Amino acid sequence: MSENFGGNSFSMKLDEANFADSFGVSLGDLPARCKKLIADKNFEYNVLKGNELESFLVEILKRIDEDTQKIGVEERKDVWERGWRESLDEYVQSNFDIKKLVPKFIRPNQAIRWQQQYILPVADNFELDYVEVLREWLFPAYFSEVDTIHEFGCGTGFNLLALARIYPEKNLIGSDFVPASVELVNKIAEKQSLNLRGHIFDMIQPNENYEVAENSGVLTFGSLEQLAGKFENFIDFLLRKKPEICVHIEPTIELYDENVLSDYLAIRFQSKRGYTKGLLPHLSDLASQGNIELLKVKRLNFGSQMMEGYNLMVWRPVKV
Ligand SMILES: C[S@@+](CC[C@H](N)C(=O)[O-])C[C@H]1O[C@@H](n2cnc3c(N)ncnc32)[C@H](O)[C@@H]1O
Protein backbone atom coordinates (compact mmCIF):
# COMPACT_ATOMS: atom_id res chain seq x y z
CA MET A 1 0.00 0.00 0.00
CA SER A 2 1.69 3.22 -1.03
CA GLU A 3 0.98 6.67 0.34
CA ASN A 4 1.45 9.83 -1.70
CA PHE A 5 1.10 12.97 0.34
CA GLY A 6 0.22 16.03 -1.70
CA GLY A 7 -1.16 19.11 0.05
CA ASN A 8 -3.76 18.04 2.62
CA SER A 9 -5.04 15.04 0.72
CA PHE A 10 -3.33 11.73 0.31
CA SER A 11 -4.27 8.77 -1.73
CA MET A 12 -3.30 5.17 -1.37
CA LYS A 13 -3.20 2.36 -3.82
CA LEU A 14 -3.70 -1.40 -3.62
CA ASP A 15 -0.59 -3.20 -4.77
CA GLU A 16 0.42 -6.83 -5.29
CA ALA A 17 1.25 -7.26 -1.59
CA ASN A 18 -2.23 -6.02 -0.60
CA PHE A 19 -3.91 -8.50 -2.93
CA ALA A 20 -1.70 -11.38 -1.73
CA ASP A 21 -2.57 -10.46 1.85
CA SER A 22 -6.29 -10.23 1.02
CA PHE A 23 -6.22 -13.72 -0.56
CA GLY A 24 -4.02 -15.15 2.21
CA VAL A 25 -1.20 -16.20 -0.13
CA SER A 26 2.37 -15.14 -0.80
CA LEU A 27 3.35 -12.82 -3.66
CA GLY A 28 4.77 -15.75 -5.62
CA ASP A 29 1.30 -17.37 -5.67
CA LEU A 30 -0.20 -14.57 -7.77
CA PRO A 31 -0.29 -15.62 -11.44
CA ALA A 32 1.30 -13.30 -14.00
CA ARG A 33 -2.09 -12.26 -15.39
CA CYS A 34 -3.21 -11.31 -11.92
CA LYS A 35 -0.14 -9.10 -11.48
CA LYS A 36 -0.72 -7.54 -14.89
CA LEU A 37 -4.31 -6.63 -13.98
CA ILE A 38 -3.12 -5.08 -10.70
CA ALA A 39 -0.64 -2.98 -12.66
CA ASP A 40 -3.07 -2.02 -15.45
CA LYS A 41 -6.11 -1.05 -13.36
CA ASN A 42 -6.34 2.02 -11.19
CA PHE A 43 -6.53 0.86 -7.57
CA GLU A 44 -6.01 4.30 -6.02
CA TYR A 45 -8.31 5.35 -3.22
CA ASN A 46 -8.79 7.76 -0.33
CA VAL A 47 -9.87 6.67 3.13
CA LEU A 48 -13.11 8.32 4.32
CA LYS A 49 -12.37 10.41 7.40
CA GLY A 50 -13.70 13.18 9.64
CA ASN A 51 -16.93 14.91 8.61
CA GLU A 52 -17.14 12.96 5.37
CA LEU A 53 -17.04 9.71 7.30
CA GLU A 54 -19.67 10.93 9.75
CA SER A 55 -22.14 11.88 7.03
CA PHE A 56 -21.45 8.59 5.30
CA LEU A 57 -22.17 6.63 8.50
CA VAL A 58 -25.47 8.47 8.92
CA GLU A 59 -26.34 7.55 5.33
CA ILE A 60 -25.54 3.89 6.04
CA LEU A 61 -27.68 3.87 9.19
CA LYS A 62 -30.59 5.45 7.30
CA ARG A 63 -30.24 2.88 4.54
CA ILE A 64 -30.35 0.06 7.08
CA ASP A 65 -33.46 1.54 8.72
CA GLU A 66 -35.24 2.14 5.42
CA ASP A 67 -34.31 -1.09 3.65
CA THR A 68 -37.23 -3.46 3.11
CA GLN A 69 -35.67 -6.18 0.94
CA LYS A 70 -36.08 -9.73 2.28
CA ILE A 71 -33.78 -12.40 0.89
CA GLY A 72 -35.23 -15.77 -0.12
CA VAL A 73 -38.93 -14.78 -0.21
CA GLU A 74 -41.06 -15.96 -3.17
CA GLU A 75 -41.07 -12.53 -4.94
CA ARG A 76 -37.27 -12.56 -5.12
CA LYS A 77 -37.46 -15.32 -7.73
CA ASP A 78 -39.47 -12.99 -10.01
CA VAL A 79 -36.98 -10.19 -9.33
CA TRP A 80 -34.07 -12.41 -10.47
CA GLU A 81 -36.00 -13.62 -13.51
CA ARG A 82 -36.83 -10.03 -14.56
CA GLY A 83 -33.28 -8.82 -13.88
CA TRP A 84 -31.59 -11.55 -15.89
CA ARG A 85 -34.20 -11.27 -18.69
CA GLU A 86 -33.25 -7.58 -18.95
CA SER A 87 -29.55 -8.56 -19.13
CA LEU A 88 -30.36 -11.15 -21.82
CA ASP A 89 -32.25 -8.51 -23.87
CA GLU A 90 -29.39 -6.01 -23.49
CA TYR A 91 -26.86 -8.67 -24.50
CA VAL A 92 -28.84 -9.53 -27.65
CA GLN A 93 -29.61 -5.88 -28.54
CA SER A 94 -25.96 -4.86 -28.15
CA ASN A 95 -24.99 -7.49 -30.69
CA PHE A 96 -23.66 -9.79 -27.94
CA ASP A 97 -21.44 -7.33 -26.09
CA ILE A 98 -20.04 -9.25 -23.10
CA LYS A 99 -19.79 -6.01 -21.08
CA LYS A 100 -23.58 -6.28 -20.72
CA LEU A 101 -23.02 -9.43 -18.62
CA VAL A 102 -21.47 -7.59 -15.67
CA PRO A 103 -24.14 -8.04 -13.00
CA LYS A 104 -25.84 -4.81 -11.97
CA PHE A 105 -25.24 -5.48 -8.27
CA ILE A 106 -21.56 -4.64 -8.91
CA ARG A 107 -22.17 -0.92 -8.86
CA PRO A 108 -19.67 1.66 -10.12
CA ASN A 109 -18.81 4.86 -8.23
CA GLN A 110 -19.47 3.53 -4.76
CA ALA A 111 -17.60 3.62 -1.47
CA ILE A 112 -15.84 0.33 -0.78
CA ARG A 113 -15.02 -1.59 2.39
CA TRP A 114 -11.37 -2.39 2.69
CA GLN A 115 -9.67 -3.68 5.83
CA GLN A 116 -12.64 -2.57 7.99
CA GLN A 117 -12.48 1.00 6.68
CA TYR A 118 -14.61 2.79 4.14
CA ILE A 119 -12.64 4.01 1.14
CA LEU A 120 -13.48 6.15 -1.88
CA PRO A 121 -11.94 4.73 -5.04
CA VAL A 122 -10.50 7.05 -7.65
CA ALA A 123 -11.62 4.84 -10.56
CA ASP A 124 -15.29 4.10 -11.25
CA ASN A 125 -15.01 0.32 -11.46
CA PHE A 126 -12.88 -0.47 -8.41
CA GLU A 127 -15.17 -3.27 -7.18
CA LEU A 128 -15.35 -4.94 -10.59
CA ASP A 129 -11.59 -4.59 -11.04
CA TYR A 130 -10.94 -6.21 -7.63
CA VAL A 131 -13.29 -9.08 -8.54
CA GLU A 132 -11.41 -9.61 -11.81
CA VAL A 133 -8.08 -9.81 -9.98
CA LEU A 134 -9.61 -12.16 -7.41
CA ARG A 135 -10.87 -14.55 -10.11
CA GLU A 136 -7.51 -14.56 -11.90
CA TRP A 137 -5.94 -15.90 -8.70
CA LEU A 138 -8.85 -18.02 -7.44
CA PHE A 139 -9.76 -20.04 -10.52
CA PRO A 140 -6.25 -21.30 -11.36
CA ALA A 141 -5.60 -21.90 -7.63
CA TYR A 142 -8.49 -24.36 -7.26
CA PHE A 143 -9.77 -25.52 -10.64
CA SER A 144 -6.64 -26.32 -12.63
CA GLU A 145 -6.88 -30.08 -11.98
CA VAL A 146 -10.60 -30.68 -12.63
CA ASP A 147 -12.21 -31.47 -16.01
CA THR A 148 -15.63 -29.93 -15.32
CA ILE A 149 -16.59 -26.80 -13.39
CA HIS A 150 -20.14 -26.19 -12.17
CA GLU A 151 -21.24 -22.76 -11.06
CA PHE A 152 -24.47 -22.97 -9.07
CA GLY A 153 -26.57 -19.77 -9.07
CA CYS A 154 -24.60 -18.42 -12.03
CA GLY A 155 -26.75 -15.37 -12.94
CA THR A 156 -25.52 -13.75 -16.16
CA GLY A 157 -22.67 -16.25 -16.60
CA PHE A 158 -20.18 -13.53 -15.74
CA ASN A 159 -17.88 -15.93 -13.82
CA LEU A 160 -18.27 -18.70 -16.38
CA LEU A 161 -17.00 -16.36 -19.09
CA ALA A 162 -13.88 -15.68 -16.99
CA LEU A 163 -13.46 -19.43 -16.46
CA ALA A 164 -13.86 -20.07 -20.22
CA ARG A 165 -11.11 -17.59 -20.99
CA ILE A 166 -8.72 -19.31 -18.56
CA TYR A 167 -9.87 -22.86 -19.35
CA PRO A 168 -11.40 -23.07 -22.86
CA GLU A 169 -10.93 -26.85 -22.85
CA LYS A 170 -12.83 -27.61 -19.63
CA ASN A 171 -16.54 -28.45 -19.47
CA LEU A 172 -18.32 -25.51 -17.92
CA ILE A 173 -21.81 -25.86 -16.54
CA GLY A 174 -23.87 -23.00 -15.16
CA SER A 175 -27.11 -23.50 -13.30
CA ASP A 176 -29.66 -21.20 -11.76
CA PHE A 177 -33.24 -21.43 -10.51
CA VAL A 178 -34.61 -18.93 -13.08
CA PRO A 179 -35.01 -19.66 -16.81
CA ALA A 180 -33.67 -16.24 -17.97
CA SER A 181 -30.23 -17.08 -16.51
CA VAL A 182 -30.15 -20.48 -18.22
CA GLU A 183 -31.18 -18.94 -21.57
CA LEU A 184 -28.52 -16.29 -21.16
CA VAL A 185 -25.78 -18.85 -20.42
CA ASN A 186 -26.79 -20.96 -23.42
CA LYS A 187 -26.85 -17.84 -25.63
CA ILE A 188 -23.33 -16.88 -24.49
CA ALA A 189 -22.12 -20.42 -25.18
CA GLU A 190 -23.58 -20.28 -28.71
CA LYS A 191 -22.34 -16.78 -29.56
CA GLN A 192 -18.85 -17.15 -28.09
CA SER A 193 -18.51 -20.83 -29.15
CA LEU A 194 -17.76 -21.94 -25.59
CA ASN A 195 -17.71 -25.36 -23.99
CA LEU A 196 -20.53 -24.19 -21.70
CA ARG A 197 -24.08 -25.31 -20.95
CA GLY A 198 -26.85 -23.90 -18.76
CA HIS A 199 -29.35 -25.89 -16.66
CA ILE A 200 -32.19 -25.17 -14.28
CA PHE A 201 -31.32 -26.13 -10.72
CA ASP A 202 -32.80 -25.03 -7.39
CA MET A 203 -30.23 -25.20 -4.61
CA ILE A 204 -32.96 -25.36 -1.96
CA GLN A 205 -34.48 -28.48 -3.57
CA PRO A 206 -31.58 -30.11 -5.41
CA ASN A 207 -32.52 -32.44 -8.24
CA GLU A 208 -30.72 -35.74 -7.58
CA ASN A 209 -30.63 -36.45 -11.35
CA TYR A 210 -28.44 -33.41 -11.98
CA GLU A 211 -25.15 -34.85 -13.10
CA VAL A 212 -21.90 -33.90 -11.39
CA ALA A 213 -19.38 -35.78 -13.49
CA GLU A 214 -16.24 -37.36 -12.12
CA ASN A 215 -13.40 -34.94 -11.46
CA SER A 216 -15.62 -31.87 -11.12
CA GLY A 217 -15.15 -28.61 -9.26
CA VAL A 218 -18.00 -26.56 -7.78
CA LEU A 219 -18.24 -22.78 -7.54
CA THR A 220 -20.77 -20.56 -5.82
CA PHE A 221 -20.27 -16.81 -6.04
CA GLY A 222 -22.86 -14.86 -4.07
CA SER A 223 -25.59 -17.45 -4.54
CA LEU A 224 -25.64 -19.41 -1.26
CA GLU A 225 -26.22 -16.00 0.35
CA GLN A 226 -29.59 -15.95 -1.43
CA LEU A 227 -30.90 -19.12 0.23
CA ALA A 228 -31.69 -17.33 3.51
CA GLY A 229 -29.89 -20.05 5.46
CA LYS A 230 -31.52 -23.02 3.62
CA PHE A 231 -28.21 -24.42 2.35
CA GLU A 232 -28.19 -27.82 4.06
CA ASN A 233 -29.92 -29.74 1.22
CA PHE A 234 -27.39 -28.36 -1.24
CA ILE A 235 -24.38 -29.21 0.93
CA ASP A 236 -25.83 -32.74 1.45
CA PHE A 237 -26.25 -33.01 -2.35
CA LEU A 238 -22.56 -32.11 -2.79
CA LEU A 239 -21.57 -34.65 -0.13
CA ARG A 240 -23.38 -37.32 -2.17
CA LYS A 241 -22.05 -36.15 -5.56
CA LYS A 242 -18.47 -35.88 -4.28
CA PRO A 243 -16.86 -33.21 -6.46
CA GLU A 244 -13.09 -32.84 -6.08
CA ILE A 245 -13.29 -29.29 -4.77
CA CYS A 246 -15.95 -26.80 -3.65
CA VAL A 247 -15.16 -23.08 -3.69
CA HIS A 248 -17.51 -20.49 -2.23
CA ILE A 249 -17.24 -16.71 -2.43
CA GLU A 250 -20.03 -15.63 -0.11
CA PRO A 251 -20.78 -13.05 2.57
CA THR A 252 -19.93 -14.70 5.89
CA ILE A 253 -21.42 -12.98 8.90
CA GLU A 254 -19.34 -15.10 11.29
CA LEU A 255 -16.12 -13.45 10.04
CA TYR A 256 -17.03 -9.92 11.16
CA ASP A 257 -15.87 -8.39 14.43
CA GLU A 258 -18.96 -6.92 16.08
CA ASN A 259 -16.76 -4.53 18.08
CA VAL A 260 -15.68 -2.71 14.92
CA LEU A 261 -18.23 -0.14 13.70
CA SER A 262 -18.05 -0.92 9.97
CA ASP A 263 -18.40 -4.65 10.73
CA TYR A 264 -21.24 -4.07 13.16
CA LEU A 265 -23.15 -2.08 10.51
CA ALA A 266 -22.64 -4.88 7.98
CA ILE A 267 -23.91 -7.44 10.53
CA ARG A 268 -27.03 -5.27 11.03
CA PHE A 269 -27.62 -4.94 7.27
CA GLN A 270 -27.04 -8.62 6.45
CA SER A 271 -29.21 -9.76 9.37
CA LYS A 272 -32.05 -7.40 8.46
CA ARG A 273 -32.17 -8.62 4.86
CA GLY A 274 -31.71 -12.22 5.96
CA TYR A 275 -28.72 -13.26 3.87
CA THR A 276 -27.58 -16.80 4.65
CA LYS A 277 -25.74 -17.27 7.89
CA GLY A 278 -24.43 -20.44 9.48
CA LEU A 279 -22.64 -21.89 6.45
CA LEU A 280 -19.16 -21.59 7.95
CA PRO A 281 -20.16 -23.19 11.30
CA HIS A 282 -21.91 -25.96 9.32
CA LEU A 283 -18.78 -26.65 7.25
CA SER A 284 -16.65 -26.57 10.42
CA ASP A 285 -18.98 -29.17 12.02
CA LEU A 286 -18.75 -31.39 8.92
CA ALA A 287 -14.95 -31.09 9.07
CA SER A 288 -14.79 -32.03 12.74
CA GLN A 289 -17.05 -35.04 12.04
CA GLY A 290 -14.58 -36.14 9.36
CA ASN A 291 -17.07 -35.71 6.46
CA ILE A 292 -15.18 -32.96 4.66
CA GLU A 293 -11.73 -31.40 4.57
CA LEU A 294 -12.02 -27.65 5.12
CA LEU A 295 -9.05 -26.41 3.10
CA LYS A 296 -9.29 -22.65 3.40
CA VAL A 297 -11.37 -19.96 5.08
CA LYS A 298 -10.28 -16.41 4.32
CA ARG A 299 -11.90 -13.10 5.07
CA LEU A 300 -10.81 -11.00 2.10
CA ASN A 301 -11.50 -7.75 3.97
CA PHE A 302 -13.08 -6.30 0.85
CA GLY A 303 -16.67 -5.42 0.14
CA SER A 304 -19.18 -2.93 -1.08
CA GLN A 305 -20.80 -0.08 0.79
CA MET A 306 -23.19 -2.14 2.90
CA MET A 307 -21.45 -5.50 3.41
CA GLU A 308 -18.56 -7.79 2.53
CA GLY A 309 -19.91 -10.08 -0.18
CA TYR A 310 -16.59 -11.72 -0.90
CA ASN A 311 -15.26 -14.19 1.62
CA LEU A 312 -13.64 -17.45 0.67
CA MET A 313 -14.39 -20.98 1.87
CA VAL A 314 -12.86 -24.01 0.17
CA TRP A 315 -13.55 -27.66 1.04
CA ARG A 316 -13.82 -31.13 -0.37
CA PRO A 317 -15.90 -34.14 0.59
CA VAL A 318 -13.93 -36.95 2.21
CA LYS A 319 -14.08 -39.99 -0.06
CA VAL A 320 -14.27 -43.38 1.65
C1 LIG B 1 -26.09 -12.36 -6.35
S2 LIG B 1 -26.47 -13.32 -7.76
C3 LIG B 1 -24.90 -14.03 -8.18
C4 LIG B 1 -24.82 -14.44 -9.62
C5 LIG B 1 -23.44 -14.94 -10.07
N6 LIG B 1 -22.98 -16.03 -9.27
C7 LIG B 1 -22.43 -13.81 -10.09
O8 LIG B 1 -21.44 -13.85 -9.31
O9 LIG B 1 -22.59 -12.88 -10.87
C10 LIG B 1 -27.34 -14.67 -7.01
C11 LIG B 1 -27.83 -15.71 -7.99
O12 LIG B 1 -28.38 -16.81 -7.26
C13 LIG B 1 -29.55 -17.27 -7.93
N14 LIG B 1 -30.38 -18.00 -6.97
C15 LIG B 1 -31.08 -17.49 -5.92
N16 LIG B 1 -31.72 -18.48 -5.28
C17 LIG B 1 -31.40 -19.64 -5.91
C18 LIG B 1 -31.77 -21.02 -5.72
N19 LIG B 1 -32.61 -21.38 -4.75
N20 LIG B 1 -31.23 -21.95 -6.55
C21 LIG B 1 -30.40 -21.58 -7.56
N22 LIG B 1 -30.05 -20.30 -7.80
C23 LIG B 1 -30.54 -19.34 -6.98
C24 LIG B 1 -30.16 -16.00 -8.49
O25 LIG B 1 -31.06 -16.24 -9.56
C26 LIG B 1 -28.90 -15.23 -8.95
O27 LIG B 1 -28.55 -15.58 -10.25
Answer whether 67's CB lies under 8 Å from 272's CB.
yes
Q: How far does the centroid of ligand 1 lie from the alpha carbon of residue 223, in Å?
A: 4
Q: Which pLDDT tens digit goes with each residue over 225-274?
A: 999 999 999 999 999 999 999 999 999 999 999 999 999 999 999 999 99
Q: Which pLDDT tens digit goes with each residue over 171-227?
A: 999 999 999 999 999 999 999 999 999 999 999 999 999 999 999 999 999 999 999
Q: How many CB atoms lie within 10 A of CB 100?
A: 18
- DSSP letter string, 114-155: ETTEEEEESSTTHHHHHHHHHHHHHHHHHHTT-SEEEEES-T
Instruction: Quote the percentage of the chain above a pLDDT of 70.
Output: 97
pLDDT score, position 75: 95
pLDDT score, position 109: 87
Residue with the smallest CA separation from ligand 1 atom 26 is 155
Question: Phi and psi dihedrals of 246, rounded to 5?
Answer: -125, 125
Q: How far does the centroid of ligand 1 lie from the alpha carbon of residue 36, in Å?
A: 30
Q: Cα separation of 225 and 143, whole Å?
A: 22
CATH at residue 34: 3.40.50.150
pLDDT of 7 above 50: no
pLDDT score, position 274: 98
Q: Cα separation of 77 and 178, whole Å?
A: 7
Q: Which pLDDT tens digit goes with each residue over 22-62?
A: 999 999 999 999 999 999 999 999 999 999 999 999 999 99
Q: Ligand 1: which atom is nearest the Cα of residue 84?
A: 27
Q: How many domains does the chain divide into?
A: 1
Residue with the smallest CA separation from ligand 1 atom 8 is 221
Q: Which of 107, 176, 199 to mutate to test the pocket of ligand 1 (most atoms within 8 A of CB)?
A: 176
Identify the DSSP state of 184: H
Segments forming the whole domain that contains residue 116 = 2-317
pLDDT score, position 10: 66
Residues 6+ apart with CB under 8 A from 224: 153, 203, 231, 234, 248, 250, 276, 279
Work out the average pLDDT over 153-159.
97
Q: What is the pTM of this model?
A: 0.96
pLDDT score, position 108: 87
Q: How far does the centroid of ligand 1 lie from the alpha carbon of residue 51, in Å?
A: 37
Q: How far does the centroid of ligand 1 lie from the alpha carbon of residue 158, in Å?
A: 12
